[in-house]
Amino acid sequence: MDRPVAASDGLPAACLRAVTHPWSRLGLLVALLAAAAVAVAVFQPHELISNGRLLAVTGAPAVAFFGLAYGLCTAALVPRPLLNLASGALFGLQGGLAAAVAGTVLGAGISFGLGRVLGQAALRGPVQRARWLAAADRQLSRRGFRSMLALRVFPGVPFAAANYCAAVSRMGWTPFLLATAVGCVPNTAAYVVAGSSASDPLSPGFFAALGFIVISAGVGAGVAWRRRRRGAAARAAAPVADPAVGVLTPGP
């Protein structure tokens, strides 16, 4: 009489282990991101909020609603520059910047939470086995605020990729959100200014914003190239094991 009970008790436990297994959770994260991408492609929520059709209210409530919609769209992989331009066009510099920064932090927090809960356990092992991924993980884990601030200030790493890389690392919530809030301001403000001045593309504000966007992108690309060169030089100079003698010799 005990064996059927044990079997029936074991089946729910086995199902629970299968569902909560790290790779099952990672699969759920991939499925959520794929569903979000499909939903964005079909319903195009960024166009709905950019033309103001979803804004049934005005003033501060409209700014707050836009910030909420911005965060959800960002978590669903909608490109932030489009939302920043729309924010500036709808609310001007002050209201647009407030809505865009709040939405950026909200969307980053959602992505970070999903990555931490659903992806970290499965991806920690593979990350540690890849040398360059392990180096990036150590940088994010030990110098979380400074590393994330650099990623936000200098464009180059996609917003969503930075969120999920930080989630897989051991970076805490506070440095992640604080660095995101501070680091996103310069580039976000440039796009908001461009959006608020789009009706007059010959205005000094529009040209200044466009110039800042181009310069920051160039600086980010230069910083990434320099770090890649330094990393390649460091790997070339690192000692390697000589199988013939079993000792470490300088790299080529």
- Per-residue pLDDT tens digits for 150-204: 999 876 788 999 999 999 999 999 999 999 999 999 999 999 988 888 665 556 6
Q: Over range 122-126, report the average pLDDT.
A: 86
Tokens of 201: 């593309």
First-to-final CA distance of the chain: 70
Give the C-alpha separation, 213 to 223, whole Å: 15
Q: What is the mean pLDDT of the chain?
A: 79
Phi-psi map region of 59: left, alpha, beta (phi>0 left; psi -120 to 50 alpha): left
Residue 227 pLDDT exceeds 50: yes
Give the C-alpha separation, 17 to 36, whole Å: 26
Give the C-alpha separation, 3 to 11, whole Å: 12
115 touches 167 (CB < 8 A): yes
Q: Which residues pair with 103 in a beta bridge?
A: none
Sign of the alpha-carbon torsion through 108, 119, 138, 224: negative
Convert 8-45 to b/e letters by CB count within 10 Å (16 or more is b).
eeeeeeeeeeeeeeeeebbeebeeebeebeeebeeeeb
